[in-house]
Structure formats: C-alpha cells, structure tokens
A and B are shown apart, each in its own frame.
Chain A
C-alpha cells in the first residue's frame, strides 16, 4: 500500500515537502490501524456466535476478561504492524530528525488511537448480526484519511470537503504526528488530537461494555 502511494501519487502531488514518504507516513499508519482493528470485530463476532462468550461467562472469571483480552491482543498486533511499516518507510527514504521524546509522544498517540478504534470495533463485533456487518464498520474508518490532510494538503480541496477535512480527527492526529516527527512545533493540534482519541475511547468503551452486557445477561 505504501509503495503504491509513494510511486503513483508521489510525483503528482505538490506538498511543499521534499520527501513525500515523510509526508505520507502518518496517514498510512492510521489507515493500517483502521484496517487492523477490523480483525477484533471479526473475532468477537465469532466468539459471540460460537458461544465462547457464554462459556467464559459461566466460568469464575471477571466478565470483562474476555473483552480486554481481545483489546490488548489488538493493540499488540497493531504495534507490531506499525513497527513493520516504519521499517519499510525507512528503507524507502523516510527520515526523521526527531529525538526520543517526540517518538514516545507519537507512539503514545498511536496506541491511544488504536485503543479508541479497537473499542469501536468491539461494539461492531458484539452487535453485528452477520460477519459482513461485523467488519463493515471499518470501511468508513479506512476511508477517513482520504478526506484529511493525510495524503494531500487540505488547501487543495473544495470548500465543503475542506471544512470537513480540517475538522475531523484524522487531520489533527496526522498533523500532530507529522510535526512531531519533523521536529516542528506541534501547536494546538496535539491537544485536539488527544481530545479526539480520548473522547472516542471513552464513548466507545462505554458502548462496548453495554453491548457486551446486553448480550450476556437479560
């Protein structure tokens, strides 16, 4: 996916950055996470359908064990795929002048973003009626980066699209990561990004737990 973007669009898009891989990386990372969490929805759906959730709930263990198990698995596997993508990016010419602290900040934001999306995935998996339904939720998520500053600067977009792009979570997250990695001042974006991630995380968590309880006890 990364290769495709860099070589097909790379020449065409004027970004004002000399290294387009640097420009793209944040968006690619977010897309990878968005498609990665779909797996959680799929697994949870199967667990629900096969009665594995019921088995767990009739065992003497905390009710949330099951959900957290899936969520942590998701975070770990996404961290691994992010690491792989960054390695590929390095091989393709990605360079960052950022020090340890900004990198840690980036890692933190990505993990937070993964958690937030994973809980959304959990809602989808628990309330879906079909397998397709369980994974359908991720398409808009994967699509969001396209209408953001992830791949092209928002200045080039028509007014309405631009208004949306500049105010949706992906843009602020992308801008934050981009600024952190290139050692630029991050400004307000980081707070907006954190607020989005935390907000989504809390709301999605509440709904996921509700969906879980509704499923397991009438």
Chain B
C-alpha cells in the first residue's frame, strides 16, 4: 500500500448546501499534505469525513487502504485527529490528560507514554498544572501530544496554527516536521499559503467544493507565477477590479471588516494575500492574474513591490 489517503469524487451537502462537490486527492505515505482553503471552504468537513466523524453523501474515501464509510472502526486504529480547537480537558492536568488517552488506547505503560510526550513537547514543567493556565501555544502542543499517544500512522491537523502567535506557530511547524521525519503521514489544513509552503510536500487548494489545484510547491509555482503574494498597481485599477461588495468608499478598504484588502500608497495600491487562489484566471478576491493579459486593467505583479512598499 503506497497511499495513505485516497479520495475520489467525495461529496457532502448540509441541508441542501453543497460544501464538497466532488473532491479528488491522494496522500502518499510519510508525506505532509496541506489542504489550503479560505474560511468556509470545507476543510473541516473534509477532515471530519476522513476521521470517520461524518458520513459522505457520495464518492469514496480510503484511509490506510480502508474505506472510511464502511469500516470506520478499522480506520480509527490508524488515525488520530487534532481538531480546529484544542480539545483538552480543563479539569485534568496536562499529564492526566495524556494518561487518560493512553489508557483509552490501551497502552501498556500509560504513565511512561505520558512522560515521554511531555518531555518531547517541552511540557514537563507544566505537566501538573491545568491547561487553563497554559498559553495558546502550550495548549496546542498538549493537544497535538494527545493525538500522538499510541503512535498513529496518519495524523489529521485541522488548522493547527490558527490563532497562535508567530513564535508558537514556528514551534508547531517544528513539531510537524519532526513528526513527518519520523515517518508519520500528516494531513493538515490551513488558510495560510505560507504555512503550506513551509511544511507541505504537496498542496491542494480547495475552493468552492473542488480541488482547483494540486501538486508540489514547485509545480504550483510554475502554474501560478510567483508574485510574493502581492499584486500592485494604480489604486483605481486595483480597486476597480475588486468584487463589488469589497468596493467600499474611502481609501482603506476592508475585505470583511478584518484585514484590509488593499492599502493605498499615493497613487499606488497593494493587495494582500492575493494569488494562489486562481479561479477562471482570477484569484479569490477577483483580481486578475498578471499572466492573463487584460487591457482594461493593468494590474502589475511586481517583484520590486516589497522593496518599494515595505
């Protein structure tokens, strides 16, 4: 068996709303696979199906060579899930959390297993405190440690670094890399291209219910020329090319009330996190890609962008 995960034509709808419209993907043994997608793209839905928590409406999913829908019990022996939010018990201490899971997994020396993981994740000093006293990064580490109890072959990490500060994020990246070096297959989801770039052997982009692009980082870069993640050009051009609901009055536009979608610098503007979300030649925000020549709007990709605008 070469493939750790194989998904074909996977479909899932919630109350008539199609979330997955036929997803195909493959994950090889021992690799780090990143599923990249924006908010609400269906990443969690995907993970929940693969982790036997949700039944698909159509299509097939095999994990460790076993059909997920028909033999969930068997799949559960091979996998472990770290959900989008840290699933740790607040009443137990860090160590007790680990021991509990170790016992549930019928390990022979639950205490020993707990101590090893605490040490490996730098949590020995905090082991006898409750997770409510932990920092976000520590909770996430404990959460991942809980998933490693019993050495599962395949690990699902749903947005492992969302909400973490940069330092904690780098710590988690390190952990993930070490895991993969140890031979574990890792399926992770993320909203950040940077994270996928840092970690993944292969990346797939989930958009509007389908995988719209997939491959190694090098392959993706070839298909969608690098722009250092930014697009810039004349303010009017950049703005005029945004989807209508983003075209608000005033200089600083906010995508959805959170991060500014683009920023003005005099007559020039720069968008944030634009490319790598191609859809009919557009990125997620509706901006055209530079390699697509469009006379009306000359949005230029500039490598100098960073030097000029910081």
> What residues on B are CB-neighbors of A43 within 8 Å?
91
Kindly state whether residue B174 has any CB partner on chain A within 8 Å: no
Scoring B77, B90, B146 by chain A CB atoms within 10 A of each residue's CB, the highest score goes to B90
In the complex, whether A8 has a CB less than 8 A from a CB of chain B is no
Chain B residues within 8 Å of A54, by CB: 48, 51, 53, 81, 83, 87
Total interface residues on A, CB under 8 Å, equals: 18
Flag if A58 contacts B85 (CB, 8 Å). Answer: no
Partner of A55 from the list B14, B55, B83, B90 (CB cut-off 8 Å) is: B83
Per the 8 Å Cβ criterion, residues 110-168 of B in contact with A are 146-147
| CB atoms of A61 and B51 under 8 A apart | no
Smallest CB separation, B300 vs chain A (Å): 44
CB pair A217 B89 closer than 8 Å: no
Chain B residues near A202 (CB-CB < 8 A): none
A124 to chain B, nearest CB (A): 19
B86 at the interface (CB under 8 A from A): yes
- The answer to whether B87 and A51 have CB atoms under 8 Å apart is yes
Of A46, A50, A56, which one neighbours B86 at CB under 8 angstroms? A50
The reply to whether the CB of B52 lies closer than 8 angstroms to some CB of chain A is: yes
Query: Among the listed A47, A50, A52, A57, which residue makes an inter-chain contact with B52, where contact means beta carbons less than 8 Å apart?
Result: A57
A1 proximal to B (CB < 8 A): no
A218 x B89 contact (CB < 8 A): no
From residue 100 to 152 of chain A, which have CB atoms closer than 8 A to chain B?
none
Q: Which of B55, B80, B89, B90 is in CB contact (< 8 Å) with A58? A: B80
A55 and chain B: residue at smallest CB distance: B87
Are B54 and A50 within 8 A (Cβ)? no
Whether a CB of chain A sits under 8 angstroms from the CB of B88 is yes
**Does the CB pair B76–A60 fall under 8 Å?**
yes
Shortest distance from the beta carbon of B39 to any chain A beta carbon, whole Å: 18
Are B52 and A58 in contact (CB-based, < 8 A)? Answer: yes
Q: How far is the CA of A54 from the CA of B91 in the complex (A)?
A: 18
Question: Most chain-B CB neighbours within 10 Å: which of A50, A52, A59?
Answer: A59
Query: CB distance A61 to B104 under 8 Å?
Result: yes
Question: Contact between B53 and A57 (Cβ–Cβ < 8 Å)?
Answer: yes
| Chain A residues near B252 (CB-CB < 8 A) | none
Q: Mark A44-84, 1 if CB is under 8 A from B, else 0.
A: 00110011101111111100010000000000000000000
A217 touches B105 (CB 8 A): no
Determine if A58 and B76 form an interchain contact, defined as CB atoms under 8 angstroms apart. Answer: yes
Partner of A50 from the list B14, B87, B147 (CB cut-off 8 Å) is: B87
Tally chain B residues at the interface, Cβ within 8 Å. 27
Which residue on A lies nearest to B57, using beta carbons? Answer: A218
The verdict on B84 contacting chain A, using a C-beta distance below 8 Å, is yes
Q: How many A-B residue pairs have CB under 8 A?
A: 55
Q: Least Cβ distance of A67 to chain B in Å?
A: 14
Instruction: Looking at the assembled complex, report how far the CB atom of B96 sits from the nearest CB atom of chain A, in whole angstroms.
Output: 14
Report whether A51 and B83 are in contact in the complex, using a CB–CB cutoff of 8 Å: yes
Q: Does B196 contact A (CB under 8 A)?
A: no
Residues of B within 8 A of A57 (CB): 52-53
CB distance from B89 to the nearest CB of A (A): 6
CA distance A182 to B135 in the complex (A): 56
Is B79 interfacial (CB 8 A cutoff)? yes
State which of B48, B90, B104 has its C-beta within 8 Å of the C-beta of A59. B104
**Residues of A close to B84: CB separation below 8 A:** 51
Q: Is A216 an interface residue (CB 8 A)?
A: yes
Residue with the greatest number of chain B CB neighbours at <10 A, chosen from A43, A46, A218: A218
What's the nearest-Cβ distance from chain A to residue B83, in Å? 4
**Min CB gap A205→B, angstroms:** 22
Query: How long is the Cα–Cα vector from A54 to B88 in the complex, in angstroms?
Result: 11
- Contact present for B73 and A51 (CB under 8 Å): no
Q: A46-B90, A58-B80 are in contact. Are A51 and B54 (CB under 8 A)?
A: no
CB distance from B71 to the nearest CB of A (A): 12
Could you say which of A55, A65, A216 contacts B146, with CB atoms under 8 Å apart? A55
Is there contact, CB below 8 Å, between A59 and B105?
A: yes
Closest residue of chain A to B76 (Cβ to Cβ) is A60
**In the complex, what residues of B have CB within 8 A of residue A55's CB?**
81, 83, 87, 146-147
Task: Give 1 or 0 for each of A16-54: 1 = CB within 8 Å of chain B CB.
Answer: 000000000000000000000000000100110011101
Chain A residues whose C-beta falls within 8 Å of the C-beta of B54 in the assembled complex? 217-218
CA distance A46 to B91 in the complex (A): 11
Sample of 4 more A-B contacts, CB < 8 Å, known A54-B48, A59-B104? A43-B91, A51-B86, A54-B81, A55-B147
In the A-B complex, the 6 residue pairs with the closest CB atoms: A51-B83, A51-B87, A58-B81, A60-B76, A58-B51, A55-B87
12 contacts between A and B (CB under 8 A): A47-B89, A50-B86, A51-B83, A51-B87, A52-B87, A54-B81, A55-B146, A57-B52, A58-B80, A59-B104, A59-B105, A60-B105
